Every structure is written in structure tokens, then in C-alpha cells.
Structure 1
Amino acid sequence: MADDERDLISGTNALELDWAGLQVERVGPRFGITPDERATLAPCICALHEQIQQERVDAAAGRSRLLRDSPDEPLDYGFMDMPARLLGVESALSQRIQDLADQLAEEADAHVVLGIGGSYQGAQALFDALLPTYFNELPRQERGNRPRIYFEGNNVDGLALHDLRQLLDVRYHRYGATPAGRFSLNVISKSGRTLETEVAFSVLRERLRAQGLQDYSRRLVVTTGAEGPLAQAAREDAVPTLPVPDNVGGRYSVLTAVGLLPAAVMGLNIRQLLQGAADFQAYCDAHPDPTDNPAWLYAALHVRAYERGATTRVLAVWTRRLEALGRWYDQLLAESLGKGERGATPLTIVATRELHSRQQQHQQGARDKVITNLLVRDPGRDVTVEGLSFDPRRAPEVVGRRLSELATLAVEATNAALNEDHRPTMNLCLPRLDEYHFGQLVQMLMNATVMEGKLLGIWPFGQPGVEAYKRRWDELLRSRPAA
């Protein structure tokens, strides 16, 4: 870390990990951690911590080929240093991201993010977590003078793309070639060869051009790798581009231009996102002992549970605003750890919604799950129960309570019911949902995933299994002409 970066970083952690529901006293010997096991965690984790630090140094020095000889196993540690770099030595790139975002927001009242997998999941998580729930329904002035946000290019769903195109056409026919009637595009693909995204771009690019060729390039940004057909096309059309770093894998790229440009278009404070992540990374780097490091402890506890038979890991988010974050994390875990016929199956649920469906299985189904509750201590906005209509007899128990208080009691009740039947749980808590703490959370989860891979003997970068379906799809497209 350069001196100017070090001066900006406080090295603090605001996340709390409560793992009482994984201690032997609470859930018994199968999944419970004994005092002796707690004592043995530190030496192993500390050794792997040092290994990770050395691999980061080697990667930065260009010695990665000495470590990994397979293109399926890249050394993608760049996400760890990226937040500090964007606050320090690469702050000019952060400013360019902000300037392009402000331009896109000024030019149009709808912004479409085209990408799939890691190219959009982080941006979707930011949108859901940090903006008002019904952001797109608000008048522009109540959206902070920012555009409505839409996500496409993440499927081959003709109905969805048709309906988005129709919506954009309706607004253009109503308001004409004005910001209120026009839309802007951000096309994201590291390789520049992602078929789902390319198809959506080809459909929407013609609409974008029809809304004005003279300023076409002011309403389009391409986020891609240095080479590839998308980068080449952007250069030929003089379209602004932003980089996807070579040393950052797609699922780890939320705090690069991949996630930061959409965040800035939304009106979020990208410096605070980066600051939270950089502060956590500095804290993580300085604390090898899992007793002091929630990322390392979180990883160790999940690996321990997996080795004892918890092959399904459930992330229970206690606000809908974090459901997309859960899907982002599902991808992070599945692609990083699902290799060599190993790796737990990730599953995100929303509580208390899924307590009325999946909880039956969690409480009395197969003993193959560890459940982590992702909690927000201060919801920021809340509602107080003023009365009950269905069963007024319960009014003394409920009326006057805030919904966040009901949720807190539901978390406690759910954990107690599961632990009583020797089913493991833990709680991961954020102080509040804002840019700073979101940055801390995603940086913590990405670090934890790397450590889990180390503990399991699984390389946490690359996703060679994803390429299999792509090869088969390409073969079928070449062998079967269009109808």
C-alpha cells in the first residue's frame, strides 16, 4: 500500500459475528465447536493468512505464473487492494467514473445496466440495498435527480427484453428527444464475448441511436477488459470505456468500475463504498488471528460445519433490501468453492417470508444446513404497529412495537428453536445499511471466501465449470441454423 493510500485508511471493522449458535454448549457435539477446537483455529488460520499475503505480493510483482500454471486458476487477488488504490493512486479513475455517471444521469431519465453474473449482480445488490424500495416509482426530483435503473442482458428471456424495449419506446414517444424520453446504457462484459449481454446490446443499441446520433456516445459507456470485440467496437465508435482489471475476477468486481459506475449513476457515494471496503481490508490484513477477524472466523466456522455434514449453507437476510446481495453471494460461493465435487450449496432466503415455507425443512428436515442470519441493527426507516384487525386479542403484545423490534424477537425465537434441536446458526450484523457498511460487508465476504478455499484446498479464483455449457451452446449454434 502506498503512503498516500495508507493515510486514507483507518483499518476499522464495524461488522459483528455472533457464533453462539455454533458452540458445543448450544448445539451439541456434531456441529458444535469445543474449547479445544477453538484453540486450534488460530495457528492454521494465521499460517494461511501469511500465505495469502505472500501470494498477493507475488501477484503484484508479476510472479503469478510461479504459483498457478493453469489459465483456469488465475491469481485474482486484485480485489483486495482495489478500494485503497481507487482512493489513492488511482483516484483519477474514481473521478472519471463519477464524471461519466453524472453525464449519463443528465442525459436520460432511464439507465439500463447490461451484464450477467458478476457483471451485474453487485450493481443489483447496491440498487436494492441502498436506494428506496420503490425508487423507480418516485418522481425524478425525489430520486435525487437521478434516472430510473433497469437491469438486462442477464438472460435470454425474450419477454423481459421485449417489455423493457416497449417501456423505453413508450417514454420516448411521450417525451421525445429530451432527457425525460431518452435512456442511457452501460454495457459490462470483461471478455467482451458474453452472448446474453451482446444480444441485449444489439437490440437496445438501435433504439439508443434512434434517439439521437449526434450525442449517442454521451448516453453509452462500455465497461470491459483491455482487449476483446467489445473493447474494439467501443474504440471504433469513439464510445467512452471503463476498465475491468485483469487481476479481478467478475464475481469479485463489485468495487471496480463494474459496480461503481452503476452506483454513481444511482446517486450513491462511491467514495464511501470504497472507504468502507478499504478500511475493512486494512483491518483484515492486520489481524491474522480469527479471534479478532470476522472474515477469517466466518470462513473457519463454515468450513468446520461443512466437514461435519453441513453441505447446504443458508443465508437468511432479514430485509428484502439484502436479497440481491444474497444472490451475489450465492454466485461468489458457488463459482469459487464448487469444484472437484466439493463445496457447500449456497441458498439465500428472506425472513420472515421464508419462515412460512422453508423453515419446516430447516427445523425438521435433513441435518445438512448451517444458517447465518444477516442482520441490520438500525433499519433507518421503520413502521410502528398501530392496531390489529385480524386478532385484536394480540394487540397488547404487538401494538406499539416497531417492525424492526418484531424482527429482532423473531430472529431470537428462530435461533432458539433451531439450536434447541441441535441445528447450527450464527448472526452477522451490520450497524446500518449505507455505502460505508455495504463496502465493509462485501469486502468481508470476498475475503472470507478466499480463506474458505484455502482451508478446503480449493482454488477460489476461476470458474472452469461455467465454460462447459458455453462450449456446448456455441457448438449447437454453429451446427443448427436459425429457424
Structure 2
Amino acid sequence: MKLRKNILQPLRMEWHGCPSPPLTPLSGDRSVAQLLGYAPLHSLLQRPRGLMQAYGLDRRGSLLANIFRIANRTHAIVDRVVIFAPPEIKLAIESVWSTCCQPFWNELSRGDRGSKPRITFVGHDLDNDSIQGALHMLGTHRDLHCHDIADRWAMVIMEPDQGSLRSDLAFRYFLPALRRQLDNDSARIGESVVAVTSRNNRWLDRYKGLGLSQYVDLADRIGVPDSISTAATLLSAALLGVNVMELLAGASAGSQCTEQSFELSCSPIHLALANGSIHPFWSPHPRILQLWGSSLRPIGEWYETIVDAWLPNTFATSRFGCESVEFPSKDTFDPAQSPIPLSRCVRHHITTGAWRFDALELEPGETLPSKWRSELELGIEQGQQSALAQTQIDLPIIDELHVGQLMQWFQIATAIERWLHDCALAAVESGGN
């Protein structure tokens, strides 16, 4: 088993059963300028390279510098990090974790994890038994005093709002347990708790009032569409030992691809238009994300959340491999009568040209990846027989550079879809064609 060297390559996008959508909705310099000036999209395009540039100029006081400092300190003192985060940011973190780390990360020894911590999510679902189970796992029911690194754990509380049940749970149950296990040593407690929130959040005063000082400023709200490059995701990636700079470099490449879209045959703009090209008048329509790799599954779930947040009347679902899809009723269809037909959907196959580890051989001439490739070709063929509009987005390899690109593509395309949808509604309301 060996890891391959990461080299930045562009994502490849092919169309199956439908032509590459023309950029006619964006014809003319004015339309392009309006699109690139759309505030959420502009922020999304600029943020990855802005973070890298700020770090290059200030290796001590920038956001990334603070993230790296906290991550490096945490690596040295604990074996597990308990993360309190809302569901959407949990999915963004899991997308990076699943694709960029060993699949059985938490089961590995500390040495095999490169002295990086295990990760445990708590409070995202507000489920009583899972929270109690986490407390039990951390040994809070025992008179445990954590002097060995194998027993020590840290808390990261990601709080975008003024207060939530997650932060209440953290302060009511987990922080007292941590204090007991660390013998009320204020120095060790202070280095074992991190807050990720906005500077104007009143909850931060409560945090600092408890004598806690490790803080990462969330310059913009946790969530979509920028969750790949928010402090919450980047800190979690750094805690796992993921190459954050490569993740951001990949996202920045996705931004550059968008800005150069008229010179390219595929880009996030093409993806956005493909998601509405079936309709005579642009409107986002249902889509299926077909994920050909188990490590990609969290990305599918994360994508569903950003579509739901930005295109609330648009249905998105993800499936693993050749799993079939049954759409629920939605939008203009009678919920009790008519399911959405596949003819109104577009399916995106997310594939990889090279796996992170060496291919396992099944028999002479056939490996597990080649078996998957055969299943993929069969799935595309069946989709074509059903007149289903399909694309295939291929990652040259599953690593930070290309996962960063892929997630940035999805975020950018979703923001563009929202802009196109708003423009279409405005045209209808003004009596335009």
C-alpha cells in the first residue's frame, strides 16, 4: 500500500446523452460582469486565494496562522477532538475527512495516524443516546484523571449563532467533565478548548468569561455556500493533518476555472447551466449525484444541503455506485400522485481516474477499480437508453487538491444557479421573455 504524490490537474467533465450547454444565458460582457459581481459568488471565488495570500503576508497573525498554531498544539497534547458543529458544517468536515484521510482513521493507532487526533462529532443531531454514549466513551462516568496523552481529549465548539443547544450541552456536561479529568488545571483546560465563532457573537463573552482563550474568528457565517474554506472546515482539516494549503489551492483552481470559463470546454458555469438546460426557460431542476467511490459519499450529502439552502424548490439526492434512484414528489407535481420523472432530471457521475492506494487484483486482468469502471459504463449506458441527461466529472485522483476543486465547483455552480434563477424570476415579473 502506498500513497501517490499530489499534482494539481483540472477536473474533467464529459456529457453523456446531452450536448455541452452553450453559455448563451451569459452572452455579452454585461451579463458576465453582473454574474461575477454577484456578491455571494464574488466572495466564494476570492476567499481561497485571499486566505493563502494573507498567510503569505502574515505568518503569525493571519487566520491560517492561527489555525495552524492551534492545530499543532492540539496534535501534541490530545488523542481525540470532540467537535460540536451544526449539521451542514459537520458534512463539510466529513467530506474532507473521508476523502483525504485513511478510511478507518479513528480505528488506527496514534502512530499510524501520524500523532494526529481521532475525531468525534457531538450534538449535531441533538440525540440523547449518542450524546450520552460520547460522554461514556470519554470516561466521564469514571474517576479518570488524564495524565497520559492517550486519555486526553479536546473540545472544539463551532457556534455560528448567538447560542444553541449544542453550546449548552458542551458547557453543561462536557466542560465540567474535562475540568475534573484535568484536575481543574486552568492551563491544561485552556489549551483543550477552542471556540470557532464570529467576533460579534455574544456567546463569545460567555466563553471568555470561563477563562478560555483559544478562539478562531469566523469572519462569515458557518454554512453554505462557502463551507469548504470557512475557519470551521479548515481548522478541522488541520487537526486531521490534512494539507490545508493544497485544499485551498484546489479550491482556488476551481475559482480560476470559473473566471476563465469562456476559454474552456467545462467549468462550474457549464455545470450550472447543465442543471437547467432541459427547460426552455432556465430553471434549476432535480439532479442525482452518482458517487463512484465510498469516500465520496459525504460530499453527496453535503451537496444536498447546499442545494436545499440555495435552491429550496429543487430536489437533489446522492447515490453510491449503481444504486437506483426514486425521486419523491416535489414542486409542481402532486405529492400524492406524481413522482418526478427521470426525463426532468440530470445525473452527475462523480468518478476518479486513479485511486489513492494501489489497486487490488480480483483475477488476472481485472482489479477492483476496473470492476467499478465497468459498472460505471453500464450505468451511463442505461441512462442514455432512458434519455437521461448525464455528465461525468472525473477527479484525476482523490486528494486535497482535487477534492478542493470538486467542492468549490459545486459551491460555485450552486451560487450561479441561484443567480440565474433570480434573474429568470425578475424577467418574468417584469414581463420579459
Shorter-chain TM range is 0.7 to 0.9
Q: Which residue of 2 aligns with 1:408?
A: 373
Change (3 A) 1:175 1:373: farther
Pick one of 237, 249, 254 that aligns with 1:275: 249
Question: Does structure 2 conserve the Cα–Cα contact (< 8 Å) formed by 1:172 and 1:181?
Answer: no
Per-residue CA deviation, residues 428-467 of structure 1 (Å, 9 max, x unaligned), is: 11111111111111111111111111111179xxxxxxxx
Matched, 1:189 2:155: no
Query: Matched residue of 1:305: which SS?
Result: coil
**Are 2:199 and 1:234 equivalent residues in the alignment?**
no
Q: Which residue of 2 aligns with 1:209?
A: 179
Rounded to whole Å, the distance in 2 between the matches of 1:261 and 1:246 is 15
Structure 1 residues 290, 421: CA separation in 2 closer, same or farther (over 3 Å shift)?
farther
Amino acid at match of 2:27: P
The answer as to whether partners of 1:275 and 1:436 remain within 8 angstroms in 2 is yes
TM-score, normalised via structure 2 length: 0.83
1:20 partner amino acid: H
The structure 1 residue matched to 2:357, chosen from 381, 398, 421, is: 381
CA distance in 2, matches of 1:367, 1:200: 47
Match of 1:261 among 235, 239, 259: 235
Look up the match of 2:399.
434
**Secondary structure, in 3 states, of the residue corresponding to 1:457?**
helix
CA drift at 1:125: 1.0
After TM superposition, give the deviation of residue 227 of structure 1 in Å. Answer: 1.7
Task: Establish whether residue 123 from structure 1 lines up as the match of residue 93 from structure 2.
Answer: yes
Alpha-carbon distance change, 145 to 327 in structure 1, aligned in 2, over 3 angstroms: same
Q: Which runs of 5+ in 2 are unaligned?
A: 1-7, 57-61, 328-339, 425-433
CA distance in 2 between counterparts of 1:49 and 1:198 reads 46
Residue correspondences, number? 396
Output the CA distance in 1 between the equivalents of 2:380 and 2:284: 16
Q: List per-residue Cα deviations over 1:143-169 (Å, max 9, x = no partner).
A: 011111111221121111111111111
Does structure 2 conserve the Cα–Cα contact (< 8 Å) formed by 1:109 and 1:147? yes
Partner of 2:11: 15
Equivalence map 1:54-65=2 (5 Å): 54-56=37-39
Question: How far apart, in 2, do the equivalents of 1:301 and 1:149 lie?
Answer: 37
Task: Mark the CA change 1:49 to 1:449 in structure 2 (over 3 Å): closer, same or farther.
Answer: farther
Is 1:38 paired with 2:6? no
Alpha-carbon distance, 1:247 to partner: 6.9
Structure 1 position 199 matched with structure 2 position 175: no
Q: Which of these residues, 72, 78, 82, is aligned with residue 102 of structure 1?
A: 72
In the alignment, is the contact (CA less than 8 A) between 1:173 and 1:181 conserved in 2?
no
Q: What is the CA-CA distance between 1:246 and the residue it aligns to?
A: 3.0
| Structure 1 position 260, deviation (Å) | 0.7
Distance 1:86 1:300, change over 3 A: same
Distance, in Å, in 2 between the alignment partners of 1:184 and 1:429 is 37
Partner residue of 1:137? 107
Alignment partner, residue 470 of structure 1:
none
- Structure 2 CA distance for aligned equivalents of residues 131 and 228 of structure 1: 33
Q: Tell me which residue corresponds to 1:418.
A: 383
Name the CA distance, whole Å, in 1 between partners of 2:376 and 2:31.
33
Query: Secondary structure of 2:157's partner?
Result: strand
1:85 and 2:50 are equivalent in the alignment: yes
